[in-house]
Amino acid sequence: MTIPNPAAAVRYTAIDGYLKALKMPGALREYRTLAREIATPGADPLALLEAVLAQELESRHRSQIIRRMQDARFPYAKTLDTFDFTAAPKISQTAILDLARAQFVDLATNVVFIGPSGTGKTHLAIGIGRAAIHQGHRVRFTGATNLMNELLSAQAAHELPRFLKTWSRYSVVIVDEIGFVPFSADGARLLFQFFADMYERRSLIVTTNLEFSHWVDVFGDPVMTSALLDRLTHRAQMIVTEGESYRLRQALAQRSRGHESAS
Ligand code: ADP
Ligand code: MG
């Protein structure tokens, strides 16, 4: 049976109060356990301080990653670990793992995923985005059409500068599905402005099902389109995802397995 120690209880209450006031939730959660573990005769008192501070730092790092994952607004949680590179032999695993080290973010260069629907473009973009968050970057995911609509509303509300500023805190912006829906002339102009704003300062990851020669069909203006492509491709790594839709192949494989077991 442990004998209650009133002095210790008072001390715990005081320490709890300090750690709450200092907003140190990791230390608050763990310091009693750490104190018990470290309290051996002759133990270095600094060892406890060190362990408590390390715990707090670690806990802040973890919650920062959780916050940034939420803030990124990924449509679903895909990681590079679950990407089957054997099913996509055209995609260089080395190149993708290199991108996951997020050096391109420090250099503010871009990544363009280009290929047909269902070939893993969005999956890889999310996976690289998540990896960048783990390296300490702020990342934001958006669909191209959605971004255009938000730009148009911001402009209509005379809030374009403020809207653009909210994006400037991200060091990586993922714009998904360029080319699925043509842009209005106003929308295209705003997207050009958005991309120009980012150029050489922050990294852009773009996914598209359209070859560059067809971009003018969705952006409209040939001069602006070629200026955009010029910038985008000048400082960009191109990842071509080819072949048939992964989902379609999965579904077909499943169906043929079904037929086999039925026969
Ligand atoms: P895209 O953006 O090119 O249209 P997605 O990335 O959305 O394609 O992929 C479609 C679905 O197939 C997603 O659920 C994705 O996780 C999965 N997928 C595609 N390629 C692969 C792959 N090589 N390994 C594992 N899953 C894949
Ligand atoms: Mg996609």
Do 171 and 202 touch, CB atoms closer than 8 A? yes
Confidence at residue 3, expressed as pLDDT on a 0 to 100 scale: 58
Residues near ligand 2 ion, CB 5 Å cutoff = 121-122
- Ligand 1 centre from 117 Cα, in Å? 9
Ligand nearest to the CA of 121: 1
Confidence at residue 261, expressed as pLDDT on a 0 to 100 scale: 58
Ligand nearest to the CA of 113: 1
Confidence at residue 4, expressed as pLDDT on a 0 to 100 scale: 64
Q: Give the pocket of ligand 1 (CB within 6 Å).
A: 78, 83-84, 87-88, 117-123, 207, 241, 246-247
- Ligand 1 centre from 96 Cα, in Å? 14
In the chain, what percentage of residues exceed pLDDT 90? Answer: 72
- Position 255 confidence tier, pLDDT thresholds 50, 70, 90: confident
| CA distances (Å), origin 195, targets 92, 150, 181 | 27, 14, 18
Residues 6 or more apart whose CB falls under 8 angstroms from that of 202 comprise 108, 168, 170, 171, 172, 173
Residue of 210, 247, 248, 254 with the most ligand 1 atoms within 8 Å of its CB, for mutation: 247
State pTM to two decimals: 0.87
In ligand 1, which atom is closest to the CA atom of 78?
Answer: 16
- Ligand 1 centre from 245 Cα, in Å? 8
Q: What is the mean pLDDT of residues 83-89?
A: 92
Q: What is the mean pLDDT of residues 153-175?
A: 96
